Amino acid sequence: ANSGLAVTYPQKITAFQPKELLNLAEKYLSPNRYAATVLIPS
């Protein structure tokens, strides 16, 4: 892990254009392949 990524991550994400994000989502996200995490307080 790179601690500098925490500082630059927001700029990297906002640098994408909406069409680029749509293309990435269509390529990598699928309703047939996902994981759900449920956190239950103890």
**Using one digit for the tens of pLDDT, what is the confidence trace for 6-42?**
899 899 989 999 999 999 999 999 988 888 999 999 8
Residue 42 lies in a domain: no
pLDDT at 34: 86
| The residue type at 8 | T
pLDDT at 3: 83
Residue 5 lies in a domain: yes
- CA–CA separation, 16 and 14 (whole Å): 5
Phi, psi of 25, deg, nearest 5? -65, -45
pLDDT at 17: 96
Domain that includes residue 22, residue range? 1-31
pLDDT at 1: 65
Does 4 have pLDDT greater than 90?
A: no
Q: Which residues pair with 33 in a beta bridge?
A: 30
Q: Give how many domains the chain has, as a whole number.
A: 1
Q: What is the pTM of this model?
A: 0.51
Residue 10 lies in a domain: yes
